[in-house]
Structure 1
């Protein structure tokens, strides 16, 4: 696997993914019971936007850079920007938080987090970045297999009933990545049906996503399956990532209503050109 997220940290896809991730965490922590988060493709968890990799692509400039330069008032976007500020206060002025950092930031002392990373170098950095946090377990292993191995989660002898699974693969298999990803969600739903599952995906030509969307709609999820998308360019080229989305399986009740205004605001701030529908929320399988 050749993918390195350091080249793409803070881009428009990260903005969308991390806004939604924080909204999921806030829904979980609204109740006092402990929760668990599994990050199946965690990366190193913390990035420097001044590092060589990020400067090579400059992708953060049109993502987090553009959002920070705007006068943002929408609550979920402000929540995200405040988290980025907290990361920079802790790790330096050009730091950008990956999903493990955001999970650690948003969840509580009683909650538990498992982060999986298959690349040895990235896994070593991830482990070093969170060595002082007893809530976080780092697993140098395949994230899809971790769904079977780590679910349902336990804290000692106590089963944890609430939580989320974030699946954020590199899509080196392109559309074929949906097969193991949706398979992992099916397995997770059997083992831990109460949880929310979030699968990130890139958008090049949206029309080719209809087959995996049909597969996602067959998932037996009581809370339904919601597609949450942001385009920054027309989805008419297979040669570049024109946007991205998340499939939310069993999303917390009311999350779609909270995400709607945030997506609308992102659709006004991040696209490179005017489009009729830069953001979208679509129920692929209605909640039961």
Structure 2
């Protein structure tokens, strides 16, 4: 795999995904019972925005770089507080580090990272944290190997592939079937890039036809999705979102739209309960 997220860390798509992730995790904290988070494409967990790689693209300047001055009552405030706790503005936390900062002693985070060098980096980041485990494992294979969880009846499966190979949407559709068969109670969040609409429509149609209930889609578009060679936006498909999440997500996306100068921010129900 040649993909390195450091070139894109903190960009608009990261900000959108991570702000919504924090809102999803807040739901689990309302009850004392333990929960599991399985992060299938974990990366290295924390990214140095002053590195040569991050500065080469400079994508974070038009993402997290425009969000530091949000007011304390901003819908983005809970996420931004965690970003600062993790070392921002220099260091930007990926999904596993954000999640780890929200865990209680009874909760568990399982991180899967296929790239051996990145896996070792992630392992060092979480050394000494007993409720975080790191596996050098293929993301989709991990769903069969690690689900259902043994110590929690509640959980979130986060699937965040790099989309560097053809057929990723087909693999996602299969992954959703695997999760449903092994951990039907799980909340599932799937991130995807938006370049043009055709593959997105096909993916959404496959989810509708699979018979899932209570499916929500949140999308942030920086520009109209007409150029298939450009990352025009990003989406998060959520199966079994918590009550009230749609309204919070819309508030967060509206805030991102205003701060980043985005084209459109939309939360919609793909499949009703």
Class of the TM-score when normalised by the shorter of the 2 chains = over 0.9
* Correspondent of 1:212 among 186, 197, 203: 203
Partner of 1:112: 108
**Count of residues in correspondence between the two structures:** 273
Partner of 1:85: 84
- Maintained 8 Å contact 1:6/1:54: yes
- Maintained 8 Å contact 2:217/2:267: yes
1:167 pairs with 2:136: no
Using the size of structure 2 for normalisation, the TM-score is 0.96
Say which SS state the counterpart of residue 181 (structure 2) adopts.
Answer: helix
| Unpaired stretches in structure 1, ≥5 consecutive residues | none
Question: 2 CA distance for matches of 1:105 and 1:193?
Answer: 26
Say which SS state the counterpart of residue 86 (structure 2) adopts.
Answer: helix
* Correspondent of 2:229 among 239, 257, 260: 239
Q: How does 1:66-105 map to 2 (within 5 A)?
A: 66-71=66-71, 73-75=73-75, 77-88=76-87, 94-105=90-101
Deviations 1:56-95 (A, max 9, x none): 11000000011114446323x011110111111xxx7511
Say which SS state the counterpart of residue 68 (structure 2) adopts.
Answer: helix
* Correspondent of 1:268 among 258, 263, 268: 258
Question: 2 CA distance for matches of 1:170 and 1:102?
Answer: 19
Partner of 2:218: 228
Partner of 2:272: 286
Question: 1 CA distance for matches of 2:13 and 2:251?
Answer: 17
Partner of 1:184: 175
Say which SS state the counterpart of residue 15 (structure 1) adopts.
Answer: helix
| Unpaired stretches in structure 2, ≥5 consecutive residues | none
- Maintained 8 Å contact 2:208/2:271: yes
- Maintained 8 Å contact 1:231/1:271: no
CA RMSD of aligned residues (A): 1.4
Partner of 1:202: 193
> Closer, same or farther in 2 for the Cα pair 1:93/1:226, shift >3 Å?
closer
1:127 pairs with 2:123: yes
Question: 1 CA distance for matches of 2:17 and 2:92?
Answer: 13
> Closer, same or farther in 2 for the Cα pair 1:107/1:221, shift >3 Å?
farther
- Maintained 8 Å contact 2:49/2:60: yes
Query: Runs of at least 4 residues of structure 1 off by over 2 A?
Result: 69-75, 218-222
Question: 1 CA distance for matches of 2:103 and 2:204?
Answer: 30
